[in-house]
C-alpha cells in the first residue's frame, strides 16, 4: 500500500548530515565576519597573482601551467552553523569534559562531600559504556595520574588538589574510582 520503506538508521544518519544547527550566539555577526574572511582571502589571491605575473621567470618546456601551492584558495567555513551530527558529537564531547566541573570551581569544603559522593555514586554505578562516560573516565584518569606535571596545566593542579582533599575525607573512594576508570577504559 505504501511506498518504498527505508531503514530508520539510514534516515537518521542522512538527517544528521543534512540538517543544520545554528551554533552562533549572534548569527548576523558571524555572517559579516565570514564575508570579511572571504574578502581578505580573495585579496590575498589577487596580490599573489600580481606578484607572480611581475616575476620574470619564464616557464620551461617541462613545467605545467598550474597554480603554485601558495596560491591555492582556502575555503571559508560557516562558523554559525554545523551539521546536526557534528553539533551533537561536539556537545557530547563537551559534556564528557565538563561533567562534575561545578564541584571543582570552588575550593574544597567538607560540606560538598555528600553531593560529590552522590555524584560519583551515580556515575560509577551506571552500566553505560557510552562515549560520554568514557570521556569522563579519561578525564578523571588524567586528574589522578601522579606522574603528570600539574604546573603545566592550571586546571589539572586545581582538580588534583580538590580530589586529594576529597580522598582525605573519604579514602575508600580512591580505590573505587580507579577501579571504575579501569573498567570503563578497557
The pLDDT value given to residue 135: 76
In a domain, 29, yes or no: yes
Number of domains in the chain: 2
Which residues have CB under 8 Å from 15's CB, separation 6+? 84
In a domain, 122, yes or no: yes
Asked if 144 and 72 sit in the same domain, the reply is: no
Residues 35 and 163: their CA atoms lie apart, in Å, by 47
User: For residue 105, what is its C-alpha cell?
Assistant: 570551581
10-residue block means of pLDDT along the chain (186 residues)?
A: 73 76 68 82 81 67 58 59 75 72 82 85 74 78 73 76 90 91 85
Which residues have CB under 8 Å from 62's CB, separation 6+? none
- Distances from the Cα of 52 to the Cαs of 43, 63, 68, 70, 90, in angstroms? 14, 15, 10, 11, 42
pTM for the model stands at 0.51
Residues 71 and 64: their CA atoms lie apart, in Å, by 15
Asked if 119 and 53 sit in the same domain, the reply is: no
Asked if 75 and 37 sit in the same domain, the reply is: yes
Residues 136 and 14: their CA atoms lie apart, in Å, by 29
Asked if 116 and 43 sit in the same domain, the reply is: no
Determine phi and psi for 171, rounding to 5 degrees: -65, -25
Asked if 82 and 104 sit in the same domain, the reply is: no
Asked if 74 and 122 sit in the same domain, the reply is: no
The pLDDT value given to residue 172: 92
User: For residue 33, what is its C-alpha cell?
Assistant: 565576519
In a domain, 4, yes or no: no
Asked if 106 and 73 sit in the same domain, the reply is: no
Asked if 136 and 103 sit in the same domain, the reply is: yes
In tens, the pLDDT along 86-105 reads 777 777 777 766 777 778 88
The pLDDT value given to residue 129: 58
In a domain, 77, yes or no: yes
In a domain, 152, yes or no: yes
**Would you say 13 and 85 are in contact if contact means Cβ atoms under 8 Å apart?**
yes
**Rounded to 5°, angle at Cα 27 from 23 and 28:** 170
Asked if 38 and 106 sit in the same domain, the reply is: no
Determine phi and psi for 178, rounding to 5 degrees: -65, -40
**3-state SS, residue 66:** coil
**Would you say 43 and 27 are in contact if contact means Cβ atoms under 8 Å apart?**
no
In a domain, 6, yes or no: no
In a domain, 1, yes or no: no
Asked if 103 and 173 sit in the same domain, the reply is: yes
Asked if 103 and 76 sit in the same domain, the reply is: no
Residue 43 belongs to what domain range? 12-58+66-87
Amino acid at each position: 500500500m505504501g511506498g518504498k520503506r527505508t531503514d530508520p538508521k539510514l534516515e537518521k544518519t542522512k538527517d544528521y548530515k543534512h540538517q543544520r544547527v545554528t551554533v552562533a550566539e549572534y548569527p548576523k555577526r558571524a555572517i559579516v565576519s565570514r564575508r570579511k574572511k572571504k574578502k581578505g582571502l580573495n585579496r590575498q589571491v589577487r596580490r599573489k597573482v600580481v606578484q607572480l605575473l611581475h616575476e620574470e621567470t619564464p616557464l620551461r618546456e617541462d613545467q605545467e601551467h598550474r597554480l603554485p601551492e601558495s596560491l591555492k584558495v582556502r575555503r571559508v567555513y560557516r562558523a554559525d552553523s554545523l551539521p546536526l551530527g557534528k553539533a551533537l558529537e561536539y556537545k557530547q564531547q563537551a559534556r564528557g569534559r565538563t561533567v562534575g566541573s561545578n564541584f571543582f570551581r570552588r575550593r574544597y569544603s567538607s560540606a560538598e562531600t555528600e553531593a560529590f559522593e552522590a555524584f560519583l555514586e551515580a556515575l560509577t554505578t551506571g552500566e553505560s559504556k557510552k562515549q560520554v562516560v568514557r570521556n569522563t573516565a579519561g578525564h578523571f584518569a588524567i586528574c589522578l595520574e601522579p606522574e603528570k606535571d600539574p604546573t603545566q596545566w592550571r586546571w589539572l593542579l586545581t582538580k588534583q588538589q580538590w580530589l586529594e582533599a576529597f580522598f582525605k575525607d573519604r579514602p575508600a573512594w580512591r580505590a573505587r574510582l580507579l577501579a571504575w576508570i579501569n573498567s570503563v577504559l578497557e
